[in-house]
Structure 1
């Protein structure tokens, strides 16, 4: 290996490695905080212009379903479609939120050798 590459015993590389471990530890601590945040978060999915609403936590745990009387009068098949569409909407919003938050959490993390 040429000088300055790899994880030799040079002090510069040891400092890089120590910095990487510090960053990784910080990411781990922030990930725990993010998990707690996601558990408290409520993400709303809707369909039929708000006739059916589904609420999930930020980590996709179902919280509640709200069905308007107007939706209920549409019949079982239409109501089923509305609930499914609202669930998909909430799921898509939840996964997008999780992805965005994880990208924020790990941005700027550069581990040597990766």
Structure 2
């Protein structure tokens, strides 16, 4: 064993790094809990047909509501179905982008590779 090093070469400098990593991980865990609560309360709108159809999801993709303008009601079921689907896809994309962005902010500088990010 070389002088100034602890067990198996795990010196005090490495111990300090490990302690800092644990602190950072704890901060991320606390932040993740807070972020989850924020995402549950968040409303993300997706639109189609120039805003004639809107679909609202939470920040973690839970459906909240759908708004359909009376102006589009006469267009028929097929057109209305297409608009609802397009608005839902728009809301989903915005919601997942928001979640991904917030997670990147939370874990920034940790060097974590998040799946799907």
Whether these two folds match at TM > 0.5 is yes
TM-score, with structure 1 as normaliser: 0.88
Say what the alpha-carbon RMSD is for the aligned residues. Answer: 1.6
Instruction: Report the Cα distance in structure 1 between the residues aligned to 2:46 and 2:38, rounded to whole angstroms.
Output: 19
Runs (5+) with no aligned partner, structure 2: 113-117
- Measured after TM superposition, the shift of residue 57 of structure 1 is 0.4
Residue by residue, what CA displacement relative to the aligned partner does 1:33-55 show, whole Å, maximum 9, x if unpaired?
A: 00000000000000000110000
Instruction: Report the Cα distance in structure 2 between the residues aligned to 1:103 and 1:110, rounded to whole angstroms.
Output: 10
Structure 2 counterparts to residues 80-91 of structure 1, below 5 A: 80-91=81-92
For 2:56, the equivalent position in structure 1 comes to 55
Instruction: Report the Cα distance in structure 2 between the residues aligned to 1:108 and 1:41, rounded to whole angstroms.
Output: 25
| Contact 1:20 1:110 (C-alpha < 8 Å) held by counterparts | no
Residue by residue, what CA displacement relative to the aligned partner does 1:75-105 show, whole Å, maximum 9, x if unpaired?
A: 0000000000000000000010001000000
Deviation >4 Å, runs of 4+: none
CA, structure 1 residues 98+46, in 2 after alignment: closer, same or farther (shift >3 Å)?
A: same
- Stretch of structure 1 that moved more, 82-91 or 64-73: 64-73
Structure 2 counterparts to residues 30-45 of structure 1, below 5 A: 30-45=31-46
TM-score, with structure 2 as normaliser: 0.86
Runs (5+) with no aligned partner, structure 1: none
Instruction: Report the Cα distance in structure 2 between the residues aligned to 1:108 and 1:61, rounded to whole angstroms.
Output: 29
- Measured after TM superposition, the shift of residue 110 of structure 1 is 4.7
